[in-house]
């Protein structure tokens, strides 16, 4: 029953991701990704979720967010970066060989990593196989 509930919620999450990425295809970002995943697993060992300062100031909101993300995605809180406003998680679905044990149902933060933002240059974890270049300047 719980599993069906989670899957149903995930269908809405995936639909949201589909529409967001559709919009990205129409309204292009300045930066594009080049390179490829080296399957190092770093982005599954440290998952950075951005919060607003106001959200982090509220203990209740922070606790509810952590509980929700743990329940729905299998994320486990590692620490809170209050200076830069991030909740930082690990994931119970990461396998010993750096594969995703929940690939089909993985959350949007995983599907969209490394995130290409409209307003700032993308950032990468150390050792990531991707990098960002300005659209139109990269060679395939």
Can you tell me which residue has the tokens 């750096």?
A: 98
- Pick one of 10, 31, 87, 93: the residue that binds ligand SF4 (CB under 6 A): 93
> Which listed range, 17-25, 59-67, 94-102, 132-140, lies at the site for ligand SF4 (CB under 6 A)?
94-102
| Cβ atoms 47, 75 nearer than 8 A | yes
What's 118's DSSP letter? Answer: S
Cα(first)–Cα(last) distance of the chain, in Å? 46
Q: Give the nearest distance from C-beta 30 to ligand SF4 in angstroms.
A: 21
Asked if residue 123 binds ligand SF4 (CB under 6 A), the reply is no
Distance CA 90, CA 46 (A): 5
Minimum distance from residue 54 beta carbon to ligand SF4 (Å): 26
Q: How many residues bind ligand SF4 (CB under 6 A)?
A: 21
On the 0-12 / 13-18 / 19+ scale of CB atoms within 10 A, 91 is: buried
Between 31 and 113, whose beta carbon lies closer to ligand SF4? Answer: 113
User: Which regions of 1-140 does DSSP assign to beta strands (E)?
Assistant: 31-35, 47-50, 75-81, 86-91, 130-134
Does residue 87 belong to the site contacting ligand SF4 (CB under 6 A)?
A: no
Site for ligand SF4 in 21-80 (CB under 6 A): 37-44, 47
Instruction: Using CB under 6 A, pick the residue from 66, 125, 133, 138 that binds ligand SF4.
Output: 125
**Interacting residues with ligand SF4 (CB under 6 A):** 37-44, 47, 91, 93-94, 100, 102, 106, 110, 113, 125, 128-130
């Amino acid at each position: 029953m719980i599993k069906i509930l989670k899957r149903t919620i995930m269908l809405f999450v995936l639909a949201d991701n589909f529409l967001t990425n559709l919009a990205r295809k129409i309204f292009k970002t300045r930066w594009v990704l080049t390179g490829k995943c080296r399957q190092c697993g770093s982005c599954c060992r440290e998952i950075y979720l951005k919060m607003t300062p106001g959200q982090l100031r509220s203990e209740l909101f922070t606790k509810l967010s952590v509980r929700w993300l743990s329940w729905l995605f299998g994320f486990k809180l590692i620490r809170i970066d209050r200076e830069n406003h991030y909740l930082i998680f690990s994931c119970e679905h990461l396998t010993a060989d750096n594969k995703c044990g929940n690939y089909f149902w993985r959350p949007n933060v995983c599907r969209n990593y490394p995130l290409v933002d409209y307003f700032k240059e993308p950032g990468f974890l150390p050792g990531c196989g991707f990098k960002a270049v300005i659209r139109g300047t990269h060679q395939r």
